[in-house]
Amino acid sequence: MSQDKVVALEKAMEKLRDGLTLLVPGFVNTGVPETLIIGIIDKGYTNLNIISNNTSVKGRGIGRLVHENRIKHITCSHIGSNTETVEKVVAGEIDVTFVPQGTLCERVRAGGAGIGGILTPTGLGTPIAAGKPIIEVDGRLFLLEKPLHADVALIHAWKADRMGNVVYRRTARNFNQIFATAADFVIVEAEEIVEVGELDPDQIMTPGCLVDMVVKIQGAQV
């Protein structure tokens, strides 16, 4: 008998607590786990450390967490689309660590793969390189960027079966597939939940062995 990983949102939220490090995928408002974000807000969790590409826009996605003052620190590539994030960073209410987008994704991939880091020339000669080891390989210089790993990953899926096998839809895949590999606990919100065997095995993008819980999304999402 296969393990049924489908749970109510309230049950999934019991796995979270204040101060956790969370991987939150999405590109602006696409592929963002908004149901899980709303669950966090409703439970009152705060002092969160977020790893994400961006902070969406005011009132959507991670922007909800920004507006509700739930984020202590964010590691991301860009915040300019959300003026509220910019204001809170300038005011010292949120700490931010900027990471180039490709480097961010590769650091998370390294965290999921269990390797010690990546070598990249991106950031050499800029503030990004401050305090980081510089390694020469075949006459070229590279920054050693350490892996990123989280306590929990919040993933948005198009479809998931009851074992946690996942399919993403088009550009909503973005960072979801990589982020699902790099956390101690993985919660998937799915637009549609199907029975085991209904997904074409050749189409599964994140296998159920990486997923701990599946929640049905609430309301229409992108």
The pTM score is: 0.94
Sign of CA dihedral 157, 160, 165, 168: negative
For residue range 118-134, what is the model confidence (pLDDT) as tens digits? Answer: 999 999 999 999 999 99
Average pLDDT over residues 138-159: 98
Residues of the chain with pLDDT > 90, as a percent, come to 95
Confidence category of residue 17, pLDDT binned at 50, 70, 90: very high
Average pLDDT over residues 45-51: 98
pLDDT for residue 218: 83
Report the candidate in 147, 145, 175 with the shortest Cα–Cα distance to residue 52: 175
**Do you know the residue count of the chain?**
222
Kindly state the DSSP code that residue 43 receives in the 8-state scheme.
Answer: H
pLDDT for residue 2: 63
Report the candidate in 53, 49, 64, 11 with the shortest Cα–Cα distance to residue 31: 53
Of residues 198 and 1, which shows the higher confidence score?
198
Burial of 150 (0-12, 13-18, 19+ CB in 10 A): buried
